[in-house]
Amino acid sequence: MPNSRTVSLVTLGCARNEVDSEELAARLAAGGWSLRGEGEDADVVLVNTCGFIQAAKQESIDELLAAADSGAKVAAVGCLAERYGTDLAEELPEAQVLSFDDYSDISSRLDDVLAGRKRPAHVARDRRTLLPVSPVSRQEARAAKAAQPTVDLTDLPPGVAPASGPPVLRKRLAGGVAAPLKIASGCDRRCSFCAIPSFRGSFVSRRPPALLAEAEWLASQGVRELVLVSENSTSYGKDLGDLRLLETVLPELAKVGGIARVRVSYLQPAEVRPGLIDVMTSTPGVVPYFDLSFQHASGPVLRRMRRFGDRPRFLELVERVRSLSPDAGVRSNFIVGFPGETADDLRELELFLSEARLDAIGIFGYSDEDGTEAARFDDADKLEEDEVARRVSEFAALAEEVMAQRAADRVGETVEVLVEEVSGDGRYEGRAAHQAPDVDGSVTLLASRPLHPGDLVTAQVVESDGADLVARA
């Protein structure tokens, strides 16, 4: 095919989608497609959608419609496309709906889109049924079913590399000094409010040599911070027969030349082991940053969510982390308005947020998700949308207050700031160890000497502004 075919990639949702888009970009580049930036004219617009909650679904649909209005051919991939398949195709005839199974042959799929050859959309199914129930049986089964690559790995375009060994490819799209590194895919948990396992499938770890190879390639591209992502990072290694494998891999990743920081995201509190806490708080290069998926603090609500824990247990976990690393960063997300949530449940959550002093807090309102257990709960237990919105507003305000106070408590601390942008006049933008890219606060760094993106600078916090800090080198 001629090299004049152009494609623009639009990525919505989480960091896991960002990694998927970079694999798609690599495969397209290797297939002869010229990549255009978001908003630039292109023959085909490929939208990597999010299907997590209703707001994310609507954003994905709006993006697909906007792409179609531009006059380009449109294709949808990602979670929304995988989750709804033929249903989405019927609702949006403007877009070709593709499955995760199309990723290995994405160049040919977009050739069809460009030529106007409409392919039947896939029928959505529960992807957990595609692999054995036993985690230790999945690696061999996945390898047997894996599609062969349809690109020539011996003659790749500049900037494209076999990031984790054939057949996985990756091409950086966003640049910057931090990059996500996917350590696993899928989830085995059965939270009553969450549909992700049904369309992302069962939990499967990537092998350590693949992670190290990709980390080395990312370092060669100027990356200084690796952000390890998955649906559940604390499960890493269980399908490889080693539940402590993350504790082994983290120090190895931190030793990769050029990498200044390794950060872990998406930790399940019920699966956080003392050995993992020890490694995350004592290993040079691994930041003491705990992204803990609490979701609530009331025991009864958590039981209805099919989760474990309560306020005392969660406080004990936070205190254990801080006993080993007093300056450790701790963040979490919470759902309010869950069916049956009472005033006592809300009081438990309020007490936890006040006592735990988290660095970053996300508050979300409950909504029914297709195919989940909670969506089938008795309607009498479900709250009106206005009441859910009121609770979101109330707890979002509390969260802002807690985060601002936690940031104020850091005034006087010595922090290591990773410089990301040069603002001019001796001012730089970056992040301290307790701040993850995009989701947490940032640091305005004051320095009398020239600095560059990627520099790791020791500084003292002199001021706070909400969750953000001002520090002097």
pLDDT tens, position by position, 160-177: 554 444 444 788 988 899
Residue 156's pLDDT is what?
Answer: 54
Farthest CA pair distance, the chain: 65
The Cα–Cα gap between 397 and 363 comes to 10
The Cα–Cα gap between 473 and 458 comes to 6
* pLDDT (tens digit per residue) in 392-405: 999 999 999 999 99
Q: What angle do CA 432, 433, 438 make, to 5 degrees?
A: 70
Residue 115's pLDDT is what?
Answer: 92
* pLDDT (tens digit per residue) in 273-298: 999 999 999 999 999 999 999 999 99
The CATH number of the domain covering residues in 411-472: 2.40.50.140
Residue 147's pLDDT is what?
Answer: 47
The Cα–Cα gap between 159 and 161 comes to 6
Residue 38's pLDDT is what?
Answer: 80
Non-local CB neighbours of 290 within 8 Å, separated by 6+ positions: 267, 272, 280, 318, 321, 328, 329, 330, 331
The Cα–Cα gap between 287 and 295 comes to 23
Question: What is the three-class DSSP state of 360?
Answer: strand
Residue 151's pLDDT is what?
Answer: 55
Residue 164's pLDDT is what?
Answer: 41
Q: Residue 456: which H helix or E strand, with range?
A: strand 456-465
Q: Which position has the token pair 């792409």? A: 67
Q: What is the pTM of this model?
A: 0.90
- By C-alpha distance, which of 159, 252, 176 is closest to 213? 252
Q: What is the DSSP string of 54-78?
A: HHHHHHHHHHHHHHHHTTSEEEEEE
In the predicted model, residues of the chain with pLDDT beneath 50 are: 1-2, 147-149, 153-154, 162-168
Is beta strand 427-431 parallel, antiparallel or unpaired with respect to 414-424? Answer: antiparallel
- By C-alpha distance, which of 142, 268, 133 is closest to 194? 268
Q: Which architecture, in CATH terms, is 6-121?
A: 3-Layer(aba) Sandwich (3.40)
Tokens of 87: 């249903």
Residue ranges of the binding site for [4Fe-4S] cluster: 14, 50, 79, 187, 191, 194
**Identical fold between 6-121 and 411-472:** no
Residue 163's pLDDT is what?
Answer: 42
236 contacts 183 by C-beta, under 8 angstroms: yes
Segments making up each domain of the chain, as ranges: 6-121, 138-409, 411-472
The mean predicted confidence, pLDDT, of the chain is 91
Q: State yes or no: cis peptide before 167, omega within 30 of 0.
A: yes
Residue 146's pLDDT is what?
Answer: 52
Q: What is the DSSP string of 2-44?
A: -TT-EEEEEE-S-HHHHHHHHHHHHHHHHTTPEEE-TTS--SE
* pLDDT (tens digit per residue) in 51-61: 877 778 888 89
Superfamily of domain 138-409: tm_1862 like domain (3.80.30.20)
